[in-house]
A and B are shown apart, each in its own frame.
Chain A
Amino acid sequence: MMKFHRIHALITRHLFLYKRSLPRLMEIFYWPFLDLVVWGFITVYLMKFQGQLPGVVTFFLGALILWDVLFRAQQGITISFLEEIWSRNLMNLFASPLKPSEFLAATMALSVFKVAMVSCVMVAAAYFFYSYNVFMIGLSLVPFVLNLIITGWIIGVLTTSLIMRFGQEAEVLAWGMVFLFQPISCVFYPIEILPKWLQAIAWANPATHVFEGMRGVLSGGSLPVAHLGWATGLNLLYLATIIGVFHWTFNICKEKGLLVRVGE
């Protein structure tokens, strides 16, 4: 049984850090803002070809904001783990009654916090710079966002497991791993663009169903129930699997004595 006070302790530990860490605040405000401004102006330029590319602003900015939801959800998990490595705090945590599942629950809660903050920045910037209202996607925005957060968690826990197992050399994955999934998430283009063999892989990616569904809604279609069903089903399957992988890796690291050496 998980104990809330231990999850609360970890969440607060990171919130204490956020209030006085410039790099952590930049993750929330600076980078997402910069992303949106650069891509926004590219989109405005593309608007000149509106005839050839109908609804380009809606597609691009919507996709960009939703991609950042996934990206920041992943970072919320992985960076929280890296913070513990950098501050040589893993021993303090795992020699306490804290369970690995409570550790994951805390990092997931932190990633939701991060996504909420980043989304506010991006939604506001999109509105003020480009008069773009992401809520025009409608009610389906809620299940889209929830699914992307879970996909971000899955990639985040996978990356964390790899860093725990392979140590400092794998730290670079914290920033790079998610981009391995970007081409097969069909964020900025429809799945038909991909070669047939890659389409089969892309359909196994929950994020693809979200972005395909989003494009469907923006093209005036109804709530893409099938896409949402697939995204949710795949996400739940992968999440259960990756949590199992994390626990398995954790036990291997304890056997090999890696947990106390990670980061050295």
Chain B
Amino acid sequence: MLPIVQVQGLTKKFGDFTAVDGVSFEIKQGEILGLLGPNGAGKTTTFQMLLGLVTPTAGSIRMFGKDLAMHREEILSQVNFSSTYISMPYSLTAEENLWVAAKLYGLSDIARRIDEVVKKLEMEEFRHKLTRKLSSGQMTRLTLAKAILTEPKILFLDEPTASLDPDIAHKIRALLKDVRRSAGLSILYTSHNMREMEEMSDRIIFLQKGKVVAQGTAQEITERFGQRDLEDVFLKLARES
């Protein structure tokens, strides 16, 4: 089966600074790929290039066998993302924000779909609340709801459980695994919680100074670096850099 995401020699330079340096990876259908690395490793820039927000200096990004630059609209209608570092319009209620997102992606039967997602993410108590009044945990759930609302085939998640309490974070991870199983969703996942990365990811790629320095399952990576667990690998690589 053809990988659903194919990234080849992806490079991004900002002047003299190389943020991403010849990164290549693939994501298969239904696979969760973890993207790990210390701050400044190039994770966010890679995300932004995959979402078409930043133009690569070199390399190619293909999704569903098509080039992102050439088929942006078609590809992005089947992709969504969530990040702790973005927000949604504050003067709209959570439900209004979901409605706008649904319309933007051309969803039909919007009301039913919003009801489903609100229930899944336990958002009933704040669905009619203004976004500016949401707690950071509720905000994270809202951006996650926006991401799964549109029934994407690929999901890019940048620290999706940051600022959630352990109970909700556990439920969100269970939900993502469930959506992955039932819809064959492919996910690119970042987190600074190493246990979460081990739990969620089928494979992990480790970025450092814009380059892939290791890839494989969590176990393969820890064995390769002779460490106890992923957290120790992270500390070793981060301190070396």
Q: What residues make up the interface of A, taking CB atoms closer than 8 Å to B?
A: 3, 5-6, 8-10, 12-13, 16-17, 20-21, 83-84, 87-89, 91-99, 251, 254-257, 259-260
Quick one: closest B residue to A256, CB to CB?
B14
- Are A255's CB and B73's CB within 8 A? no
- Are A88's CB and B86's CB within 8 A? yes
- Are A13's CB and B53's CB within 8 A? no
Main secondary structure of the interface of B (DSSP, over half): mixed
- Are A91's CB and B103's CB within 8 A? no
Contacts A16-B92, A88-B86, A88-B87 known; A96 to B105 CB distance under 8 Å? Answer: yes
- Are A259's CB and B103's CB within 8 A? no
Closest 10 CB pairs of A and B: A9-B103, A95-B51, A88-B87, A87-B89, A9-B104, A97-B77, A13-B100, A254-B55, A97-B76, A97-B73
CB distance from A164 to the nearest CB of B (A): 13
Does B190 belong to the interface (CB within 8 Å)?
Answer: no
How far apart are the CA atoms of A68 and B13 in the complex, in Å?
45
Contacts A8-B103, A16-B96, A260-B48 known; A96 to B76 CB distance under 8 Å? Answer: yes
- Are A91's CB and B86's CB within 8 A? yes
CB distance from B32 to the nearest CB of A (A): 20
How far apart are the CA atoms of A89 and B45 in the complex, in Å?
18
Residues of chain B lying within 8 A (CB to CB) of residue A97: 72-74, 76-77, 104-106
CB distance from B241 to the nearest CB of A (A): 21
CB distance from B234 to the nearest CB of A (A): 25
Quick one: closest A residue to B56, CB to CB?
A255
CB distance from A253 to the nearest CB of B (A): 9
Contacts A17-B91, A21-B91 known; A94 to B96 CB distance under 8 Å? Answer: no
Does B189 belong to the interface (CB within 8 Å)?
Answer: no
CB distance from A152 to the nearest CB of B (A): 24
Does B206 belong to the interface (CB within 8 Å)?
Answer: no
What 1/0 flags go to B74-117 for Cβ under 8 Å of A? 10110101010011111110001001110111100000000000
- Are A257's CB and B87's CB within 8 A? no
Quick one: closest B residue to A83, CB to CB?
B89
- Are A3's CB and B106's CB within 8 A? yes
Residue among B73, B76, B92 making CB contact with A95, cutoff 8 Å: B76
B12-53 contacts to A, CB under 8 A, are 12, 14, 45, 48, 51-53
What interface size band does chain B fall in?
20 to 34
CB distance from B93 to the nearest CB of A (A): 8
Q: Quick one: which of A17, A259, A260 has the most chain B CB within 10 A?
A: A260
Residues of chain A lying within 8 A (CB to CB) of residue B88: 87, 89, 92
Residues of chain A lying within 8 A (CB to CB) of residue B89: 13, 16-17, 83-84, 87, 89
How far apart are the CA atoms of A6 and B107 in the complex, in Å?
10
How far apart are the CA atoms of A166 and B88 in the complex, in Å?
23
- Are A89's CB and B87's CB within 8 A? yes
Does B146 belong to the interface (CB within 8 Å)?
Answer: yes
Does B54 belong to the interface (CB within 8 Å)?
Answer: yes
Q: Quick one: which of B55, B88, B91 has the most chain A CB within 10 A?
A: B91
Given A12-B99, A94-B52, 7 further pairs, Cβ under 8 A: A9-B101, A13-B96, A89-B89, A91-B86, A96-B101, A97-B76, A255-B54
Q: What residues make up the interface of B, taking CB atoms closer than 8 Å to A?
A: 12, 14, 45, 48, 51-55, 72-74, 76-77, 79, 81, 83, 86-92, 96, 99-101, 103-106, 130, 146
Q: Quick one: which of A13, A84, A99, A255 has the most chain B CB within 10 A?
A: A13
Residue among B52, B76, B100 making CB contact with A12, cutoff 8 Å: B100
How far apart are the CA atoms of A20 and B92 in the complex, in Å?
9
CB distance from B122 to the nearest CB of A (A): 22
Supply 21 A–B pairs (Cβ within 8 Å), ascending by A: A6-B103, A9-B101, A10-B104, A12-B103, A13-B89, A16-B89, A16-B91, A16-B96, A16-B100, A17-B91, A20-B91, A21-B91, A83-B89, A87-B89, A87-B90, A88-B87, A92-B88, A95-B52, A97-B74, A255-B55, A257-B54
Quick one: closest B residue to A257, CB to CB?
B54
Residues of chain A lying within 8 A (CB to CB) of residue B12: 257
Quick one: closest B residue to A96, CB to CB?
B104
Quick one: closest A residue to B131, CB to CB?
A87
Contacts A13-B92, A95-B76, A97-B76 known; A259 to B104 CB distance under 8 Å? Answer: no
- Are A257's CB and B90's CB within 8 A? no
Quick one: closest A residue to B74, CB to CB?
A97
CB distance from A104 to the nearest CB of B (A): 15
CB distance from A92 to the nearest CB of B (A): 6
- Are A98's CB and B104's CB within 8 A? yes
- Are A5's CB and B92's CB within 8 A? no
How far apart are the CA atoms of A75 and B126 in the complex, in Å?
33
